[in-house]
């Protein structure tokens, strides 16, 4: 029970992929979880699932693009539970078109949700964390922040989240607040469903790019998030933790092409 008596906010917590898994896993370890999602019905379903399992959860309809929504969400959390121990910045949108076909409004939307949303949520929880002299912010970045996978606006936003993470970590370390980012590779969630309709073998083919030979599951990312949010990571701040099956470490085909002498 690493999160007994702790209060955790998960943005995008109504999502059927990582968001929901984070909500379930934090609750299973004793946390009261605030499910902050712009999809109110999904947030309510995620909170209801926790309560059915005997846990504590609160659904708060929150669009992370709205200053007012984010302020109200932080207030609702303090009102319900009296403290804020962990914020997970998970909400995202992604416009996957070519740069040439990306309108400024598409670019701005991804920046607003992913980067400015993480900034807004962090800014609203920090005063409580400062008063408590403890708190953890875990932001979900992506391998897109490090290598070309398309979706330029989303990628730039995730790179910004990593810069925000380092700024949060150093500025608020004197108050006992830590900030880290996860850098996931592909993992199996409903976001792939539309592309799987075009290419049913998509995730199996993507798996071949991963040194570990598979794409991840939401629980793989959630395990890393819970670790970074827990006291086990009490000396870890400002870090980026790849949870990517080795994708960013390199590509074995590249190494084979560099060393033909080993593959005659």
Ligand X SMILES: NC(=O)c1ccc[n+]([C@@H]2O[C@H](COP(=O)([O-])OP(=O)(O)OC[C@H]3O[C@@H](n4cnc5c(N)ncnc54)[C@H](O)[C@@H]3O)[C@@H](O)[C@H]2O)c1
The token pair at 53 is 């399992």
Q: For this structure, is 158 an active site residue?
A: yes
Bridge partners of 137, per DSSP, are 87, 179
By CB under 6 A, name the binding residues for ligand X.
11-12, 14-19, 37-39, 42, 62-65, 90-93, 113, 140, 142, 184, 186-187, 189, 191, 218
Residues in the chain: 264
CB of 172 to ligand X, least distance (A): 22
154 is known as an active-site residue: yes
Alpha carbon distance 93, 4 (integer Å) = 31
Taking the C-alpha atoms of residue 216 and residue 209, their distance in angstroms, rounded to an integer, is 12
Contact 249, 209 (CB under 8 A): no
Shortest Cβ distance from residue 206 to ligand X (Å)? 9
Q: How far is the CB of 23 from ligand X (least distance, A)?
A: 9
In whole angstroms, the minimum distance from the beta carbon of 260 to ligand X comes to 33
> What are the DSSP calls for 199-258, one per residue?
-TTHHHHHHTTSTTSS-B-HHHHHHHHHHHHSGGGTT--S-EEEESTTGGG--HHHHHHH
| Nearest to ligand X of 142, 261 (CB atom) | 142
Nearer to ligand X, 172 or 187 (CB): 187
Residue 86's CB: how many other CB atoms inside 10 A?
27
- List the catalytic residues: 154, 158
């Amino acid at each position: 029970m690493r999160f007994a008596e702790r209060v955790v906010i998960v943005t995008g917590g109504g999502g059927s992929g990582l968001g929901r898994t984070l909500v379930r896993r934090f609750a299973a370890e004793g946390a009261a979880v605030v499910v902050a999602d712009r999809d109110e019905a999904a947030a309510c379903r995620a909170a209801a699932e926790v309560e059915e399992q005997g846990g504590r959860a609160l659904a708060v309809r929150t669009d992370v693009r709205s200053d007012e929504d984010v302020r109200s969400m932080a207030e609702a959390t303090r009102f319900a539970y009296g403290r804020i121990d962990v914020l997970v910045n998970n909400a995202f949108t992604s416009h996957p078109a070519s740069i040439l076909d990306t309108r400024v409004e598409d670019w701005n939307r991804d920046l607003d949700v992913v980067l400015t949303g993480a900034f807004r949520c962090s800014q609203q929880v920090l005063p409580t964390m400062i008063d408590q002299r403890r708190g953890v912010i875990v932001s979900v970045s992506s391998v897109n922040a490090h290598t070309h996978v398309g979706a330029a606006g989303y990628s730039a936003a995730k790179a910004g989240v990593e810069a925000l993470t380092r700024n949060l970590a150093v500025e608020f370390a004197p108050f006992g607040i830590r900030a880290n980012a996860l850098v996931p590779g592909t993992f199996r969630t409903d976001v792939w469903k539309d592309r799987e309709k075009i290419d049913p073998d998509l995730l199996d083919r993507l798996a071949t790019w991963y040194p570990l030979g598979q794409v991840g599951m939401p629980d793989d990312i959630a395990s890393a998030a819970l670790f970074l949010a827990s006291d086990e990571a009490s000396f870890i701040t400002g870090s980026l933790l790849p949870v990517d099956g080795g994708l960013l470490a390199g590509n074995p085909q590249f190494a084979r092409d560099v060393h033909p002498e080993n593959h005659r």
